[in-house]
């Protein structure tokens, strides 16, 4: 898969895409990340990419022309058609489902705004989809683009070492992930749940699903209402609730109220 990033901070974007799973995916040639700086396509002697906003008010807006030529060069750099995503707080909220759909495309491009954003006319003509990574405002689209690159890059076939880990991710089945434990078995902070040491794969799978259901019920009940539960899952969640009611409170209870 190829991801083109249009950004005034191409070095930052390249560095983000060079580390961890995504960096490895690039080394394995599963993913190619290219950057395009609109400033390189500005024509005046100040290499301007922004101007003040018509109608007044503070803040600058990214102009059409440098972006239009940047996007034309970007589109022409490879044969595949590009699905162009603009990152902004006004976009549709990014979900794992959307990430999975983007990861199946051969080529996407990420347009990162700065200042107050991008001239609306350019967005209307060029952009296929506007995405937000959450209900908060960043000072530019770069961190959001880095989030998309990571989430999409790790889903490329062969990017993750353990083929199963993407399937076990939070959200991949509409539930949050279960708790995980590393060495040692016993510690002053507590012991690893016994079932995980039993070697009984069916019992472990049942425990993990119960924890996933329980966590989702506690932390993201909205996900449970969207997903719905079959009868066995409902019974497992009831079991979790009974156990939860009789356990000692933890710090997380304070944090979440």
Token duo for residue 64: 């059409």
Choose the catalytic residue: 34, 129, 130, 169. 169
Rounded to 5°, angle at Cα 150 from 149 and 156: 85
Q: Restricting to residues 74-103, which ones interact with ligand ADE according to CB under 6 A?
A: 87-89
Confirm or reject binding of residue 63 to ligand ADE (CB under 6 A): no
Residue 106, CB-side half-sphere exposure with 13 Å CA sphere:
5
Confirm or deny that 222 is annotated as ligand binding: no
Give the residues across from 2 on adjacent strands.
32, 107
Confirm or reject binding of residue 144 to ligand ADE (CB under 6 A): yes
Shortest gap between Cβ of 37 and ligand ADE (angstroms)? Answer: 18
Shortest gap between Cβ of 23 and ligand ADE (angstroms)? Answer: 22
Give counts: helices (H), strands (E), the chain. Answer: 11, 9
Token duo for residue 166: 């993407």
Residue 167 known to be catalytic: no
Give the 3-state DSSP-derived string for 191-218, with helices as H, strands as E and coil as C.
Answer: ECCHHHHCCCHHHHHHHHHHHHHHHHHH
CB 89 within 8 A of CB 116: no
Confirm or reject binding of residue 156 to ligand ADE (CB under 6 A): no
Residue 239 known to be catalytic: no
Give the residues across from 6 on adjacent strands.
36, 111
Confirm or reject binding of residue 214 to ligand ADE (CB under 6 A): no
Confirm or deny that 137 is annotated as ligand binding: yes
Instruction: Pick one of 138, 166, 195, 196: the residue that binds ligand ADE (CB under 6 A).
Output: 138
Confirm or reject binding of residue 212 to ligand ADE (CB under 6 A): no
Shortest gap between Cβ of 5 and ligand ADE (angstroms)? Answer: 13
Q: Which positions make up the binding site? A: 113, 133-138
- Among all residues, which ones are annotated catalytic? 89, 116, 154, 169
Binding footprint of ligand ADE on the chain (CB under 6 A):
87-89, 132-134, 136-138, 141, 144
């Amino acid at each position: 898969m190829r991801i083109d990033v249009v950004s005034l901070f191409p070095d930052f974007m390249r560095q983000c895409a060079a580390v961890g799973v995504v960096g490895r995916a690039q080394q394995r040639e599963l993913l190619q990340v290219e950057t395009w700086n609109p400033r390189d396509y500005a024509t005046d002697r100040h290499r301007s990419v922004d101007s003040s906003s018509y109608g007044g008010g503070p803040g600058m807006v990214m102009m059409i022309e440098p972006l239009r030529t940047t996007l034309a060069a970007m589109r022409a750099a490879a044969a595949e058609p590009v699905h162009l995503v603009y990152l902004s707080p006004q976009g549709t909220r990014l979900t794992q489902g959307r990430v999975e759909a983007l990861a199946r495309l051969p080529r996407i491009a990420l347009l990162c705004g700065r200042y107050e954003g991008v001239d609306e006319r350019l967005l209307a003509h060029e952009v296929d989809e506007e995405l937000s990574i959450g209900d908060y405002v960043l000072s530019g689209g770069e961190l959001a683009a880095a989030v998309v690159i990571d989430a999409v890059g790790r889903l490329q076939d062969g990017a993750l070492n353990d083929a199963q880990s993407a399937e076990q991710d939070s959200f991949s089945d509409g539930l949050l992930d279960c708790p995980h434990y590393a060495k040692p078995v016993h510690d002053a902070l507590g012991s690893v749940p016994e079932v995980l040491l039993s070697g009984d794969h069916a019992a472990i799978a049942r425990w993990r699903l119960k924890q996933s259901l329980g966590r989702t019920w506690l932390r993201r009940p909205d996900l449970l209402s969207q997903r719905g539960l079959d009868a066995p899952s409902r019974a497992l969640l009831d079991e979790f609730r009974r156990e939860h009611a009789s356990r000692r409170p933890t710090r997380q209870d304070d944090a979440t109220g």
